Structure 1
Amino acid sequence: MAMRRALCLFLSGLLAAGTAEAQTRFSAIPRAKAGGAFIYPLTVVTKNNLDFGYIAVNGAGTVVVNPNTSVRSVTGGVLALGGRPQPATFLGAARSASVVIIRVPKSPITIRRVGGTETMTVQNFTLQGQDKRTLARMEAFEFNVGATLVVNANQAEGVYTGEFDVTVQYP
């Protein structure tokens, strides 16, 4: 009798398991993602790169990206065509209550055409807000940097890239 009871319980368990597996399951499409960035206090990281967007050239001119409004403007023989013009964005964090000083380049930098030797100049780097900022303990901060791209009259078509340094002086 004990064997029969055990067999009945076993079969009941199988039937219950079969019923649960027969239920329809759906997963979210697309799958959800999770992420984040971790930075140590007293560091600065690049969130977005400075991008002047797409332009056409009919003559010499400039392209300016404003760090306060993220607006791009053009002068001379330069025509704005679209793209995603934006200032460079940086993130930092302070370990203790402190004053930080942000420094952008004072001298022009040269950017070079990918796959070529042609160059353009980026100058007049500008900072969003004040260069001296007071931070609370464990406070994160973010700031934008804009600049002016100098376009030559017969500028070769292509993608131009270069690098510039932004520094933050912590106490």
Structure 2
Amino acid sequence: MTKMFRTAAAGVALFAAVGLGSTAHAQVTESADATAEVLAALQLTNDAGLDFGAIVVNAGSTGGTVDMPASTFRSCSGDVICGPGGTEQASAFTVTGAANTNVDVSVQDLVANPVVLTHTGFAGSTNNEHVIELTALDDGSLGGFPLFSGSETFNVGGTISLDGSEIAGTYEGSFDVTVQYQ
């Protein structure tokens, strides 16, 4: 009988060990949600161009600069005289997209990608008397919109440098402004 009791006890122990082992290896599955939010594409519209207005550069002068800030009035320095006012203005933009997001605004890096305004009568010329260098862009320290409303407007100003050799006429060029979600 002791032998039978030992055999029965060993069987119970074996059954318990096998039962515990299978419980420890039980498979458990849990589901997780997957989501994606598609934002409306940002749209950027140039509402007005950057206009430095009428300026006077005396022949043989050393030149100077014209500054058209994003939020204030134009100023001229050096041998450059601000002519009659009326047309000068900072460039104006409107950006639209998804509200309650962060939108970054950046202007073209003029060191890496310089911009020149070329006399309209001499397109493609690199002669100093036919070009004016855009030396700075001013976004008014805007940087962007940390809580974008869905539609915002902003201005970009700039500075041009003249060397005194420019001939009379209209000079044109372009620069890039970029907006993106952050």
CA distance in 2, matches of 1:109, 1:131: 21
Deviations 1:74-103 (A, max 9, x none): 001111112411000000112232101101
For the pair 1:157 / 2:168, whether they are aligned, the reply is yes
The 5-angstrom pairing of residues 20-169 of structure 1 reads 42-58=42-58, 59=61, 60-69=63-72, 71-82=73-84, 83-107=86-110, 108-116=114-122, 117=125, 118-136=130-148, 139-169=150-180
Change over 3 Å in CA distance of 1:132–1:157 after alignment to 2: same
CA distance in 2, matches of 1:102, 1:145: 10
Q: Is the 8 A contact 2:68 2:75 kept in 1?
A: yes
Q: Is the 8 A contact 1:103 1:168 kept in 2?
A: yes
Q: Is the 8 A contact 2:42 2:96 kept in 1?
A: yes
Aligned residues: 130
**% same residue:** 30
CA distance in 2, matches of 1:146, 1:65: 5
Q: Which amino acid aligns with 1:169?
A: Q
TM-score (norm 1): 0.71
Q: Is the 8 A contact 2:119 2:172 kept in 1?
A: yes
Change over 3 Å in CA distance of 1:136–1:114 after alignment to 2: closer
Partner of 1:7: none
Partner of 2:35: none
Deviations 1:21-73 (A, max 9, x none): xxxxxxxxxxxxxxxxxxx851100011000000010220000001022x000
TM-score (norm 2): 0.67
CA distance in 2, matches of 1:112, 1:97: 41
CA distance in 1, matches of 2:161, 2:68: 12
Deviations 1:100-138 (A, max 9, x none): 11011221311100011311100211112421312345x
Q: Is the 8 A contact 2:103 2:148 kept in 1?
A: no
RMSD after superposition: 1.6
Structure 1 unaligned regions, length at least 5: 1-39
Q: Is the 8 A contact 1:68 1:129 kept in 2?
A: no
Question: Which has the larger helix fraction?
Answer: 2
CA distance in 1, matches of 2:148, 2:135: 32
